[in-house]
């Protein structure tokens, strides 16, 4: 225990003296939280839409007002006679609605009429949103004009569970916690481990009586304390800025965060032991850790949408399980029944990372 505590104290002292490391530990996570929290938006808004009205009556104007009243479409100025060539092809608009000359006459006569809707399908998801929105507005307008009756035998009454206000921050911010707390603690730990090699101080440790387990525990505990401070800072600022409050069991969040941070530190130690310089360590942690936790953890894209065989990779990404814990704690509030499996998986990841790193470091040490 004395050797572990000595290594623990040494790491904290070295960390405090390095201003660049301090900035990497606390300033960059905060900046990442702000960028992801404000910049990532999954719901399409302010979609540029043009309307070519050949009817020019009160009824067609009413329909146009309905389109823009959704606050999803934005009127766009364009010049020319062909909306496809002059607007959509040039990227000025994402969709165009063309109202025929006989539109109001057919509506007043109760006849079927046809609108032409042209949508830029470059972004498939955005095109689907545009299509559904225009279809809903058209159905509402037809019902308002008496062309569709609402006397249906089945009337669905829909309620959004957990997030009735459709706040995207409730989905994005808890996921940002997982990405930030995975990349930065592991990055700091990997750099610290490689720095021992570059400065040559690792040889003193190899020749000393300290074992691989004691070295990993001493260095890992120091950066686990730093990671815990990062977690408090990031979650505190995230809750303050984005108004994301705790709704679930705080015990599951505390235990899950501690396990996840332990996995992050051990992940950094693993690549710190395997890398020969800081550039290699940073690139390894960034590519393997950051990219996978960002794209394959369910943070932005549902895991069910990932095609096989890439769909197997999320099963070995710790951030995936911590995202379940944070979203349960800040959105769903189910508690132990919803996250017990995620907690067990994080424990397994920690044991695997520790054993692999201990064996790799043990082979590098000199016998004594």
Three-state secondary structure readout of the chain: CHHHHHHHHHHHHHHHHCHHHHHHHHHHHHHHHHHHHHHCCCCCCCEEEEEEECCCCHHHHHHHHHHHCCCCEEECCCCCCCHHHHHHCCCCCCEEEEECCCHHHHHHHCCCCCCEEEECCCCHHHHHHHHHHHHHHHHHHHHHCCCCCCCCCCCCCCCCCCCCCCCCHHHHHHHHHHHHHHHHHHHHHHHHHHHHHHHCHHHHHHHCCCCHHHHHHHHHHHHHHHHHHHHHHHHHHHHHHHCCCCCCCHHHHHHHHHHHHHHHHHHHHHHHHHCCCHHHHHHHHHHHHHHHHHHCCCCCCCHHHCCCCHHHHHHHCHHHHHHHHHHHHHHHCCCHHHHHHHHHHHHHHHHHHHHHHHHHHHHHCCCC
Per-residue pLDDT of the chain (368 residues; tens, 9 = 90+): 777 777 777 777 777 777 777 777 778 888 888 888 887 766 677 888 888 888 888 888 888 888 888 878 888 877 777 776 777 877 788 888 888 888 888 887 777 778 888 888 876 777 888 888 888 888 888 877 766 655 555 545 666 677 777 777 888 899 999 999 999 999 989 888 888 777 766 656 655 666 777 878 888 898 999 999 999 999 999 889 988 888 878 899 999 999 999 999 999 999 988 887 888 888 888 888 888 898 888 888 788 778 888 889 999 999 999 999 999 899 888 889 889 999 999 999 999 999 998 888 776 555 44
Q: What is the CA radius of gyration of the chain?
A: 28
Q: Model's pTM, two decimal places?
A: 0.77
Q: What is the pLDDT of residue 56?
A: 87
């Amino acid at each position: 225990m004395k050797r572990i505590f000595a290594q623990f104290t040494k790491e904290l002292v070295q960390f405090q003296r390095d201003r660049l490391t301090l900035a990497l530990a606390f300033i960059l996570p905060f900046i990442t939280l702000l960028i992801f929290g404000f910049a990532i938006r999954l719901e399409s808004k302010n979609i540029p839409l043009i309307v070519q009205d050949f009817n020019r009556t009160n009824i067609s104007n009413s329909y146009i007002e309905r389109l823009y009243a959704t606050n999803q479409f934005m009127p766009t100025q364009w010049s020319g006679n062909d909306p496809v060539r002059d607007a959509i092809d040039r990227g000025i608009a994402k969709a165009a609605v063309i109202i025929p000359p006989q539109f109001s006459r057919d509506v007043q006569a109760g006849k079927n009429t046809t609108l032409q809707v042209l949508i830029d399908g470059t972004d498939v998801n955005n095109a689907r949103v545009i299509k559904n929105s225009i279809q809903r507005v058209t159905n509402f307008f037809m019902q308002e004009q008496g062309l569709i009756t609402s006397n249906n035998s089945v009337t669905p009454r829909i309620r959004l569970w957990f997030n009735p206000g459709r706040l995207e921050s409730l989905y994005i911010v808890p996921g940002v916690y997982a990405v930030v707390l995975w990349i930065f603690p592991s990055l700091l730990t990997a750099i610290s481990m490689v720095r021992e090699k570059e400065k040559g101080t690792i040889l003193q440790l190899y020749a000393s009586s300290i074992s691989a387990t004691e070295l990993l525990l001493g260095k890992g505990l120091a950066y686990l304390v730093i990671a815990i401070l990062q977690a408090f800072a990031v979650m505190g600022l995230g809750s303050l800025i984005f108004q994301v409050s705790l709704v679930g069991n705080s015990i599951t969040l505390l235990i899950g965060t501690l396990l996840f941070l332990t996995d992050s530190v051990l992940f950094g130690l693993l690549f710190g032991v395997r890398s020969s310089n800081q550039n290699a360590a940073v690139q390894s942690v960034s590519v393997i850790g950051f990219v996978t936790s960002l794209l394959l953890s369910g943070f932005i894209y549902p895991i069910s949408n990932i095609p096989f065989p890439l769909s197997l990779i999320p099963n070995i990404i710790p951030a995936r399980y911590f995202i379940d814990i944070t979203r349960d704690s800040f959105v769903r509030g189910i508690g132990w029944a919803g996250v017990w499996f995620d907690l067990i998986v994080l424990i397994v990841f920690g044991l695997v990372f520790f054993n692999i790193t201990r064996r790799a470091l043990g082979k590098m040490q000199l016998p004594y």
